[in-house]
Amino acid sequence: MIEQSILEITSALSRANNIVIVPHKGPDGDAIGSCLGLYHFLKEKGHTVNVIAPNDYPDFLKWLPGQEDILIYEKDVENCKELINSADIIFTLDFNSLSRTGDMEQPIADAEAIFVMIDHHLEPSDYAHHTYSDSTMSSTCQMVYQFLKKLRAVKHITPQIATCLYTGIMTDTGSFRFRSTTSETHKVIADLIDKGADNSLIHEKVYDTYSQNRMRLLGVALRNLEVNETLRTAYITLSQEELDKNNFRKGDTEGFVNYALALGGIKFAAIFIEHKTDGIVKISFRSKGSFSVNEFARAHFEGGGHMNAAGGKSDLSLENTVIKFNSILPEYSEQLSI
Ligand code: 5GP
Ligand code: MN
């Protein structure tokens, strides 16, 4: 982000009354953590701030400071539309295209606010007046920290802000192990701990709070694991019936795809989850090394993301989605079998 943008944002902030912060649909730890980190900062500066998420977010995030103030667009459409309309500044966090906000896309596109995008996904679209996009960053939370640094506001990071930003960096880096984790990530994390993030407690609250239903659903997922040794691919399916039997709640399947990738020799992993009410199959892709799941998801499943972690969807049945996936795989045999 260039210095001129920082000057313009600083000046816009000095005039702004109403600020709205928006994460992507199906918000994860990084999306919610970055929105809440920025929320606390702006609120303490005296602005009226609302975080509006397109839809609900997982239970394992429902302890973050300030999360009780998050508005859910699909549950409160009229009120949220009004807030979007009257916003002076709209920050869009952790996504690269307005289409990732689902039903909020049109109301946001129609808003007259100044738009600021902070995001680490590839190929950002150009709707924002100020775009801070860097796909080498581990997470949007790390970028919010950098953004505060550019605003010369690191000293104003409270324990609440530190907790939110730590959480998103932790979840988006697989607890600091993905390749996006740099020495700079660790420096930011160290500073967040110094500023009051209780690291051990945060890990416990996010990772060690499975419900029994969630643990049993993981058992089902692991039983459904399919492995293609030749193409070094493993995938998991979960049908709506299997989700229902285990009282599925949003976020319960988070991280399941990593079990498929944890197999030795496997380079490419996927999980296919049936969403009967939306009539789609939601897919998560993961890879080791140089196989780009971002390109794979873009080319075949209306999706995208990062090189080693991406997502997409399919309008086919669960069974036919898996058939499609298996029929595409051989096209990638050269990249996958080496
Ligand atoms: P996850 O599999 O954890 O839902 O998402 C992995 C990454 O892919 C995240 O960075 C997420 O934002 C991105 N992603 C997930 N689903 C989609 C999608 O449908 N479209 C696009 N463009 N990106 C997605
Ligand atoms: Mn992210």
Q: How would you label 117-146 residue by residue, b for 16+ Cβ within 10 Å and e otherwise?
A: bbbbbbebeeebbbbbbeeebbbbbbbbbb
Residue of 22, 24, 25, 28 to mutate, ligand 1, most atoms within 8 A of C-beta: 28
Of 207, 228, 246, at which residue does a domain stop?
207
Together in a domain, 52 and 159: yes
pLDDT per residue over 240-268, tens digit each? 999 999 999 989 999 999 999 999 999 99
Do 58 and 83 sit in the same domain of this protein? Answer: yes
Q: What is the pLDDT of residues 186-243, one digit of tens each?
A: 999 999 999 999 999 999 999 999 999 999 999 999 999 999 999 999 999 999 999 9
Quick one: which atom of ligand 1 is closest to the CA of 24? Answer: 12
Residue 127: C-alpha distances to residues 90, 109, 112, 113, 206 (Å): 11, 8, 12, 12, 33
Residues 6+ apart with CB under 8 A from 110: 85
Output the pLDDT for position 2. Answer: 76
User: Same domain for 9 and 143?
Assistant: yes
Pair (201, 290) in one structural domain: no
Q: Position of tokens 């997470």?
A: 139
How high is the ipTM of this complex? 0.96
**38: domain CATH number?**
3.90.1640.10
Res 289 pLDDT > 80: yes
Residue type present at position 121: H
For residue 147, report the distance from its CA to the centre of ligand 1, in Å: 23
The residues lining ligand 1, judged by C-beta closer than 6 Å to any ligand atom, are 284, 303-306, 309-313
Cα–Cα distance measured from residue 4 to residue 180, given in angstroms and rounded to the nearest whole number: 28
Together in a domain, 144 and 77: yes
Q: Which residues pair with 90 in a beta bridge?
A: 20, 115
49 and 162 belong to one structural domain: yes
For 155, 220, 302, 310, the CA distances from 313, given in Å and listed in that order, are 42, 21, 6, 11
Residues 268 and 196 in one domain: no
- Determine the structural domain holding residue 279 and report its residue range: 212-337
pLDDT at 337: 84
Whole-number average pLDDT of the chain: 97
DSSP lists the bridge partners of residue 237 as 272
- Tens digit of pLDDT for each residue in 70-125? 999 999 999 999 999 999 999 999 999 999 999 999 999 999 999 999 999 989 99
Cα 328 from Cα 320, distance rounded (Å): 12
pTM greater than 0.90? yes
Backbone dihedral angles phi then psi of residue 49, each to the nearest 5 degrees: -125, 135
Asked whether the beta carbons of 117 and 126 are under 8 A apart, the reply is no
Q: What does the pLDDT read at residue 3? A: 85
CATH number where 302 lies: 3.10.310.30
CA distance 61 to 39: 16
Q: Work out how many domains the chain is built from and give that number.
A: 2
Is residue 192 a contact partner of residue 40, using CB atoms and an 8 Å limit? Answer: no
Residue range 54-78: mean pLDDT, rounded: 97
